[in-house]
Structure 1
């Protein structure tokens, strides 16, 4: 299985933390934030289900820029084989 050693930046980790603590954040934003936080040390990769959610968020006009930032981070940490061989 291809691995992806990217990890969440401190800026995005801060955004993720703020999102998780904000009672007004959407459920999808919180799921993306939790995924980004779990990848802050680079040891974990995004699963296929979170890839689908992140892709949906990025292709939709209804989500905030903050949620899209979290989605982009989660997608960038996907398994390289599912992303097309690490290209």
Structure 2
């Protein structure tokens, strides 16, 4: 469902299973805010906040296109596992 919402917003996403303790990995191979994020990294916080709210989970941004990564990767940590 979250990947569907992201795709509707223009992201090219892929979901996969994470390591133990991580419910989900979301990879985004494009960024709809790329130009803004390059000039203001706080824009990435908007993605993290959106994902955290949608998934009711802690989100870790482990790879970022605005910082030279080939994708943005979000690890989803379930709040009830912390």
Same fold per superposition (TM over 0.5): no
| TM-score, scaled to structure 1 | 0.27
Whose strand fraction is larger, Structure 1's or Structure 2's?
Answer: 2
| TM-score, scaled to structure 2 | 0.28
Structure scoring higher RCO (CA < 8 A, sep ≥ 6) equals 1
